[in-house]
């Protein structure tokens, strides 16, 4: 349990700190109610961008996390390979607002009319399409033929147990579903207040919004629950182990009481008594490690197999587990050796 808990904690830490391909902090996602017109929604986004508390405001049609509109794409002139890709419609501020990185080409421009037939693909799509360069190439799908103007770095838009899929970002100068606003760090209260006041002048409906990192954290909810359960059972198992060691070492010490007393009479020190008791248990600890290591490896591999992106069980985990259990055993043995060492050997022999 101790070694498995180390794997669980490191995996959760890995997922929390893994580069996502964007900055998930300081983002508010607003959703357009069906009763609000597209024109008013556009005005709301433009109005927010005029306030200094907001660094940037972008828009997209599908939610960034978990969106799943899919279509088959194929390069123009290609006779064979077709690729199933996820689609999203974005405006020119989306990539900037999310702080994504373009690894090739350029972003969508509001000023270029030709960008209405332009797309940006991610690195996975470029790789799976077998492309060397991409700029100026055309791909076709159910919506027609589009020119690739850029490549965006791979970013996570699904839970970590799913591999990053090929992605196509299509221009939409006025996405009608979501507005994503990046606010200045620490200014979330003011950002919400400004957004609500702006919304009051547009619609009588309530403003629907959520913080982006809250949705992201829900992706890791199962893993956090697992860590709580593992922590509880690890602590419980360590307590049971300690209680069992106290009882077992006490029993062994009682069995060796007469031998310990004789050894003390002939000049044995407390350290030598400690070695007498400890040698037996350290062999048992080492045997337990040899038996438990395959079990630890199996449990860790089974749990980690559910993640596409994961850490792994290391030799250090086994070593830390062994040292921790050995340290716990040594403390209990030292306590019992001290008790036995301070007891009068003459009194022990007389009683025996």
- Each residue of 282-306: pLDDT tens digit? 777 777 777 777 877 887 888 777 7
The pTM for the full model equals: 0.69
Residue ending a domain, among 219, 241, 271, is: 219
Please give the average per-residue pLDDT across 151-163, as a whole number: 83
Query: Is 304 in the same domain as 315?
Result: yes
**Predicted local confidence at residue 309, as pLDDT:** 75
Total domains in the chain come to 2
DSSP assignment letter at 116: G
Query: Is 236 in the same domain as 204?
Result: no
Contact 7, 304 (CB under 8 A): yes
The residue segments making up the domain with residue 335 are 221-351
DSSP code string of 276-337: HHHHHHHHHHHHHHHHHHHHHHHHHHHHHTT-SS-----HHHHHHHHHHHHHHHHHHHHHHH
DSSP bridge pairs for 29: 180, 210
Residue ending a domain, among 200, 219, 238, is: 219
Query: Is 304 in the same domain as 345?
Result: yes
Query: Is 153 in the same domain as 286?
Result: no
Contact 260, 249 (CB under 8 A): no
pLDDT tens-digit profile of 17-26?
778 889 989 9
Query: Is 69 in the same domain as 153?
Result: yes
Residue 325 has pLDDT above 70, yes or no: yes
Query: Is 241 in the same domain as 309?
Result: yes
């Amino acid at each position: 349990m101790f070694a498995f808990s180390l794997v669980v904690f490191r995996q959760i830490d890995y997922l929390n700190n893994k580069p996502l391909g964007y900055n998930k902090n300081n983002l508010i996602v607003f959703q357009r109610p069906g009763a609000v017109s597209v024109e008013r929604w556009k005005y709301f986004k433009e109005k927010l961008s005029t306030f200094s508390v907001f660094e940037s405001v972008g828009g997209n049609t599908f939610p960034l996390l978990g969106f799943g509109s899919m279509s088959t794409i194929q390069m123009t002139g290609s006779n064979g390979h077709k690729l199933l890709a996820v689609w999203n419609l974005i405006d020119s501020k989306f990539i900037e607002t999310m702080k994504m990185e373009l690894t090739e080409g350029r972003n969508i421009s509001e000023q270029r009319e030709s960008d209405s037939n332009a797309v940006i693909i991610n690195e996975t799509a470029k790789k799976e399409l077998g492309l060397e360069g991409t700029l100026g190439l055309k791909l076709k799908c159910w919506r027609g033929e589009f020119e690739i103007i850029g490549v965006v770095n791979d970013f996570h838009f699904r839970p970590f147990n799913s591999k990053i899929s090929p992605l196509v970002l299509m221009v939409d100068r006025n996405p009608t579903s979501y507005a994503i606003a990046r606010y200045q760090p620490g200014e979330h209260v003011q950002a919400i207040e400004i957004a609500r006041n702006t919304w009051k002048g547009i619609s009588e409906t309530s403003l629907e919004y959520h913080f982006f990192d809250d949705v992201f954290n829900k992706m890791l909810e199962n893993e956090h629950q697992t860590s709580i359960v593992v922590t509880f059972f690890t602590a419980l198992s360590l307590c049971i182990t300690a209680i069992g060691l106290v009882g077992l070492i006490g029993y062994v010490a009682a069995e060796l009481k007469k031998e310990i007393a004789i050894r003390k009479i002939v000049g044995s020190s407390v350290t030598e008594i400690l070695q007498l008791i400890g040698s037996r248990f350290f062999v048992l600890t080492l045997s337990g490690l040899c038996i438990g290591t395959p079990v630890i490896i199996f449990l860790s591999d089974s749990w980690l197999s559910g993640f596409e992106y994961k850490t792994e069980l290391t030799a250090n985990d086994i070593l830390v587990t062994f040292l921790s259990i050995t340290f716990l055993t040594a403390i209990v043995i030292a306590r019992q050796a001290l008790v036995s060492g301070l007891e009068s050997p003459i009194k022990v022999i007389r009683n025996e």
